[in-house]
Amino acid sequence: MKTAVNSNGDISFLYEKLMDSLECESYLKKDTWIFMESDVLKKNMKNNERIITISKNRSFDFTIIQNDKIRDEVKFFFAKQLMQDKMCPEINYLYSEFKRIFQYLSNEKFSHAQSLLNYDKEELLSDFRNTLERNQQSTTTIAKRINKNIKMDIYFVDSGILRSLKKMYDYLYQEIVENKKEYFERDKWVFSEMPFKVNLEDFSANKSISFTKIAQPGIKKMIKKLCWHELKMTVVRTAIMRVYSFTSFSRYLTKKFPFVNNVEDITYDMLHNYVAYLKTETGLGPATIKGRIEAVHKLFETIRFMKWAEIDPNVRIKSDDIVKVIDKTGDPYTEEELREINRHLDQVPIQIARLLCVLQYTGSRISEICSFKIENLRKSEDGRDYLTYRQFKTNKYNVIPVEGIVLELLTAAIKTSREYHGDRAIYIFSLENNKIIKPNLIDQKLKRLSYKWELKDKSGKPLNIKAHRFRDTVATNYAELGIDPIAISRLLGQKSVGVLKHYVEIHNDIYLDAMQPLLEKQSQMIKNIGHIEDVPKAEVEDTIAIPLPNGSCYKPASSGLCQHANCCYNCKMFQPDSKYIHVYKNHLLRARQDLDIAKLNGYDRILQINQDLEKSLIRIIEKVEEEGVL
């Protein structure tokens, strides 16, 4: 195996420095670690009798590794990981695999090395793989995942023991080689360690960005300059998506034009061949193709504008080459799809179930609702509850009122988080690890749910439950109720009313036309929230039916204010109207949704209220449909 890096014994210095800092865990300085004698190694065994039982006689004997320099590197890796709480469960799960790595590293061929990094990583892994195969030990394992079509994909990945050796090598390389470089020169940027503040969303699954898969050194430098520039101005996901796109571009260049190393080497034909390749050979969707073309376009235009390199003016991607993506209208769930989802939410962790229930009412972005903090739920001076939170997309704060079942869900979620973590609880919807629930975890849970219970969509195909479709559903429900678009956009936290066309699917224009006269009145009501003096008052006593957004009220005005507001459907003085039948059906859908969620969470009071409401709405709809009430 060829030499890759000469560490010159730097790991010994790093190891000693680390050991000196472990005042509470001097045990890790030893060459043999007995699991039940080390506080750090016992961390993951608390209240787990099975692990405690199998761990009683376990130990790591590093003396088997004859080369003391490599031994120090291995101890350094394990000690650092353990002190960061990154490997406590893995220590037990991969106990036998780690011991086989020690045996491999005790081989005579490592006896004179100054560092494990003296060996090329790929050659080291290949040699270890051959060693395992000679000993008839597995080098692959089966992995499974559920795809977007809700079908099970089965594929092979490297076994845990191979991944562990790779992880060890990569970590040592980062500590010994990469961390010596100026931050820009490193191939992995950890956002929290960068020399300037990065706009990192709490929910982001990516805490770092890696350029290791960009094969061309000169092109990599330009890509890093672009990402460095953009990270100072925008959220991290922009740079992350750019690197995904640039990795694709780098792979293409490696395969088709292996001699290319710098942006100056790229010709007009190369760029346009890449565009053609994306459009005709990859099978990617229009939005993905557009993103990859735009990334390369942005790179070349920025290089040209910032004068980072001299590029031929003709080497550019024209605007005509960028794929035009037609914006789709909303794709809301049907009533039956929603009920199917809600009937099975007890199969996911209760905090995720509550989060999804709140999502069905508020229409918030999944990334935002995941990051709701306990402090975001507040009370106004008049005692009303509301949520205030920062929108990552617009970088502005949004405020939405909460009551009823939504308030119950939020309160229950906070109670559970505090039961888990006490005063250390941060997020409304947190699991046992006191960390934010990531959107990709929710996506995985929902795919497994649909796969296990064979849920179907309206066309009879497997139902791919996407969190964003709840937002479409809420927006569509608001629109069908005739709520002012400005109010909808504010409730959903949109920048402008125009964005609503991407979320709203209007099922019945007739009913919206019928409710059009109410829009101005509703808009005024929304504007008057908190400003009672601006609410229009009747100048004379009404002697006729009072018009409502969903019918008429025959309560005499002289009898004073109604003591049962919001209970019209159960009131004998309420008169339904056939032109509002779509509103009644929409309210019935919401009542049934409330029923499902109340059953899931054990909210008996809300369950009874909505059972009564469901009966009243069914009676009203039947009366209107059969008799044609006017």
| Degrees to nearest 5, angle at CA 65 with 62 and 69 | 95
What are the counts of helices (DSSP H) followed by strands (DSSP E) for the chain?
Answer: 21, 12
Q: Would you state the structure tokens that stand for residue 345, as one six-digit string?
A: 């939410």
Has residue 270 got a pLDDT over 70? yes
Q: Would you state the structure tokens that stand for residue 540, as one six-digit string?
A: 């004379």
Residue 364: closest CA among 439, 443, 236, 474: 474
Could you report the per-residue pLDDT of 496-516, keeping only the tens digit for each? 444 444 444 444 443 344 444
Which H or E run contains 255? Answer: helix 236-256
Average pLDDT, the chain: 78
SS3 256: helix
| Integer angstrom CA distances of residue 390 from 54, 221, 493, 522 | 47, 34, 10, 27
CA distance 531 to 181: 60
Res 512: pLDDT: 40
CA distance 253 to 260: 7
Look at 99 and 559; give whichever has higher pLDDT.
99
Could you report the per-residue pLDDT of 308-358, keeping only the tens digit for each? 999 988 888 877 777 665 555 568 898 889 889 999 999 999 999 999 988
Q: Would you state the structure tokens that stand for residue 278, as one six-digit string?
A: 């994306």
Could you report the per-residue pLDDT of 159-197, keeping only the tens digit for each? 988 998 998 899 888 888 888 788 999 999 988 888 988
Residues 189, 175 contacting (CB under 8 angstroms) = no
Which H or E run contains 546? Answer: strand 546-548
CA distance 207 to 205: 6
622's CB contacts (< 8 A; 6+ apart) are none
| Degrees to nearest 5, angle at CA 371 with 370 and 377 | 105
Residues 315, 271 contacting (CB under 8 angstroms) = yes
Decide: residue 90, CB within 10 A, 0-12 exposed, 13-18 middle, 19+ buried: middle
CA distance 165 to 70: 13
Residue 371: closest CA among 423, 413, 430, 421: 430
Provide the residue type at 129 as one letter. Answer: R
Q: What b/e string do you get for 378-402 counting C-beta neighbours within 10 Å, with b at 16 or more?
A: eeeeeeebebebbbbeeeeebebeb
Rounded to the nearest 10 degrees, what angle do helices 160-176 and 95-105 cross at?
Answer: 60
CA distance 630 to 624: 9
Rounded to the nearest 10 degrees, what angle do helices 121-134 and 95-105 cross at?
Answer: 110
Could you report the per-residue pLDDT of 208-250, keeping only the tens digit for each? 899 999 999 999 999 999 999 989 887 788 888 899 999 999 9
Give Dmax (Cα) for the chain: 102
CA distance 280 to 276: 6
DSSP characters for 68-127? HHHHHHHHHHHHHHHHTTSSHHHHHHTHHHHHHHHHHHTSGGGTT-S-GGGS-HHHHHHH
Provide the residue type at 260 as one letter. Answer: V
Torsion of CA 489, 494, 496, 498, to 10 degrees: -80
Res 323: pLDDT: 65
Look at 486 and 452; give whichever has higher pLDDT.
452
203's CB contacts (< 8 A; 6+ apart) are 367, 368, 370, 371, 392, 436, 438, 439
Has residue 360 got a pLDDT over 60? yes
Q: What's 575's DSSP letter?
A: E
Could you report the per-residue pLDDT of 94-143, keeping only the tens digit for each? 667 788 898 999 998 898 888 898 899 999 999 999 999 999 988 999 99
pLDDT interval class at 77 (50, 70, 90)? confident
Q: What's 291's DSSP letter?
A: H
Helices (H), 422-503: 439-453, 467-480, 485-492
pTM of the model: 0.70
116's CB contacts (< 8 A; 6+ apart) are 70, 73, 74, 105, 110, 124, 168, 169, 172
Provide the residue type at 585 as one letter. Answer: K
